[in-house]
Amino acid sequence: MPIPVLKLAHNMTNTPIRRNGRILDASIHAEVAATMRLPTNPRRRIKWLNLVVIRVNSSGELRQSKPCQDCIVYMHTHIAEKGYRIRDVYYSDSTGHIIKEQFSDMVAIRHTLYHTRGNRLTR
């Protein structure tokens, strides 16, 4: 049986975010936005997902889209709370290739080639 893919949206920029009653003006990476919108799994059995993150520039070329460390930590925590686990992550790199990596390896290593600037929602 094929594993479902967690569908992503575009990065949500300049979206008002509430934290501790305050409204913040920040951006949310697409993988975090998809995690936030993921419904809670009603079954007791863990549901496995694959994550696909693709970034394309205005010329249609693939760009680096490996989830940053903050997103990996956020997804690892919040996906589990909703009754899911991520098996594999597929992402584009700066050379135009699609890379497949096990999510468990990404969590264990906790470092990526791509780090975001600034403090995001995930902290």
Of 82, 80, 100, 104, nearest in space to 91 by CA: 100
Average pLDDT value over all residues in the chain: 77
Whether the predicted pLDDT of 11 surpasses 60: no
Q: 59-92, pLDDT tens digit by residue?
A: 989 999 899 888 899 899 899 999 999 999 999 9
Enter the DSSP assignment of 9: -
What is the pLDDT at residue 43? 84
Look up the pTM and report it. 0.71
